C-alpha cells in the first residue's frame, strides 16, 4: 500500500521562502471576492434597515471585515450619520459598529 504524504514530502526539498509563498497563496485562495451591489439591492437594504429601526426588529447583517464576510444578528441600536455607521447590539449585549459601505446584505429575522 502506498502512503502518500502530500506536500509534506516536498517541503524538505524547498527553500523556506518557497514554502512561505505557497502558504500565502493558499491563504489568498480562501479570501472572498467583494460583491458588487446594484441600485435595487441597495434600495432594498435601505428599506430593510429603516423598517428594523422603526419597529425594533432583529436583523441579520452580512458585512465585509478584513477581506472576509461576517454575519451579525441583533437589533439596530443607533445610526451614526456623521460616521456612516450602524451600531448593532447582539444577544450578548456586544455592540458592533459597521460601516454602511461594508454592508453586503441586511435581512429582518425572527430569531434573536
Strand bridging mode 95-99 / 68-80: unpaired
pLDDT above 90 coverage of the chain, percent: 54
Mean pLDDT, to the nearest integer, of 2-31?
75
Strand bridging mode 58-65 / 95-99: unpaired
Domain at 39-108, CATH class: mainly beta
Quote the CA–CA distance of 86 and 60 in Å, as a whole number: 13
> What is the pTM assigned to this prediction?
0.70
CB atoms closer than 10 angstroms to residue 88: 24
Could you give the C-alpha distances from 63 to 10, 71, 80, 107, in angstroms and in order? Answer: 39, 7, 17, 12
pLDDT above 70 coverage of the chain, percent: 88
What confidence tens digit (pLDDT) does each residue in 34-74 have? Answer: 778 899 999 999 999 999 999 999 999 999 998 889 999 99
Mean pLDDT, to the nearest integer, of 79-89?
92
Query: What's the pLDDT at 109?
Result: 93
Query: What's the pLDDT at 3?
Result: 64
The whole-chain average pLDDT of the chain stands at 87
Amino acid at each position: 500500500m502506498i502512503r502518500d504524504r502530500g506536500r509534506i514530502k516536498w517541503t524538505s526539498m524547498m527553500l523556506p521562502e518557497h514554502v512561505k509563498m505557497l502558504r500565502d497563496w493558499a491563504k489568498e485562495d480562501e479570501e472572498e471576492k467583494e460583491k458588487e451591489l446594484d441600485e435595487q439591492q441597495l434600495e432594498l437594504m435601505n428599506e430593510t434597515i429603516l423598517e428594523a429601526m422603526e419597529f425594533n426588529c432583529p436583523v441579520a447583517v452580512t458585512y465585509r471585515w478584513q477581506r472576509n464576510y461576517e454575519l451579525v444578528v441583533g437589533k439596530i441600536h443607533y445610526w451614526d450619520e456623521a460616521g456612516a455607521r450602524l451600531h448593532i447590539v447582539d444577544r450578548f449585549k456586544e455592540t458592533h459598529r459597521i460601516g454602511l459601505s461594508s454592508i453586503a446584505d441586511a435581512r429582518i429575522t425572527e430569531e434573536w
